[in-house]
Amino acid sequence: MEEEPVLRLTRADLTGFTPQAAAERTALQLNESASTVLDLESGRTSAFRLLRTASDEHVLILASHLAVFDGWSSGVFLADLAAGYREGPEALTPPELQFPDYADWQHRWLAGPDGTAELARRRAVFAADPPAPRAPGGFERGHLPVRLARGPVDAGLELGAAEGATPFMTLLAALAVVLARRDGRTSVVIGTPAAGRFAAPLEGAVGQYTTVVPIRLDLAGGPAFRELLHRTRTAVAEALAHQRLPVDVLFGDGTPPPYNVLFALHNYPAVPLDLPGIEVGQLPGPPARHLELYSPDPAAALACVGLVERDGEIGGTAEYNRHAATPEDVRGLLTGIEEVLDRAVAAPGSPLVTARH
């Protein structure tokens, strides 16, 4: 193993190809970078490729192991890249805390009395919730783009905001109704990826701080949507207060976690790349591969729906287990959210139906 990790840069000159052929080869390079195996033991955790597609045009590709680079880290990286370009290396200073510091603290905290007590309390919260069923065929990844219809969603988010709920809380409450109806239950557990940066010094560090936070939502008594929003606000705040507990420790006894659907409305900080004299754009890359990271047992996962609000639209990508769900099943979760919000806006004081019908 190398003493210090090394960021490798490979170069390719595509200026001899037609624009269409260069674009096709750029797409191939993106896919190849995404599929390249990165090895934590060797220290080769990230790799760069620089493609020269024209005399005045380049494409920079960064591939990084999910164990050392999460979604928030991309914003940190871009901010440092821009600062280094504008002002030189002297403008960059290491953050006060870095991932090894955090990992060391987390191990010591989990082994100490405070971590042990918090782990016991959180396990007790989910003690009555059955583990998610494992798909007989195991795990095989699928991806599909998803989008929410803005009509019912906009009105639903306005209703949520009037009750003090964030867009994430409002969408989560609607998804809880969909899952409760599907399973015939009066409580559901949904996993959500959380940033895990609960201390300000961690916000400027690169690392895999993201952790899945299980949120238990109570729909007993068939509450009206307004009441469910208040319950959801409380449940989300309570769950996020425990995001320093790793999900593989919380549900790490070989039993699948009590959720098979993960849901996120990403709010990574937007970082404009202000590079003097350079026009910067972003190319779409291959879909992320998160389910193995986000679930202690991916064979027990049905889907991970990751949405982002951009340019007046809410959409994103759903990663799902082909042995547990079809694309229609996943889309049904989204259309179910739309239907719940539509009904909630029409009759916000009416009880919600949580049983199968």
Residues of the chain with CATH 3.30.559.30: 113-346
Question: In angstroms, rounded to a whole number, what is the distance separating the alpha carbons of residues 5 and 7?
Answer: 7
Cβ neighbours for 238, distance < 8 A, ≥ 6 positions apart? none
Residue carrying structure tokens 């982002």: 308
Instruction: Report the pLDDT averaged over residues 297-320.
Output: 89
Q: What is the CATH number of domain 113-346?
A: 3.30.559.30
1 pLDDT higher than 60: no
Which fold, 8-91?
Chloramphenicol Acetyltransferase (3.30.559)
The token duo for 74 is 């991309």
**Which region among 35-39, 162-166, 238-242, 296-300 has the lowest average model confidence (pLDDT)?**
35-39
Question: In angstroms, rounded to a whole number, what is the distance separating the alpha carbons of residues 188 and 216?
Answer: 6
pLDDT at position 355 is 44
Task: Please report which confidence band the pLDDT of residue 356 belongs to, taking 50, 70 and 90 as the band edges.
Answer: very low
∠ CA 217-223-228, nearest 5°, is 45
Task: Please report which confidence band the pLDDT of residue 71 belongs to, taking 50, 70 and 90 as the band edges.
Answer: confident
Question: In angstroms, rounded to a whole number, what is the distance separating the alpha carbons of residues 340 and 154?
Answer: 13
Residue ranges of alpha helices (H) inside 7-87 are 19-35, 71-87
Residue 315, phi then psi, degrees to nearest 5:
-160, 180
Instruction: Report the pLDDT averaged over residues 3-22.
Output: 84
pLDDT at position 6 is 62
Residues of the chain with CATH 3.30.559.10: 8-91
**227 alpha-carbon distance from chain centroid:** 27
Instruction: Report the pLDDT averaged over residues 243-253.
Output: 87
Q: Which helix (H) or strand (E) holds 310?
A: strand 303-310
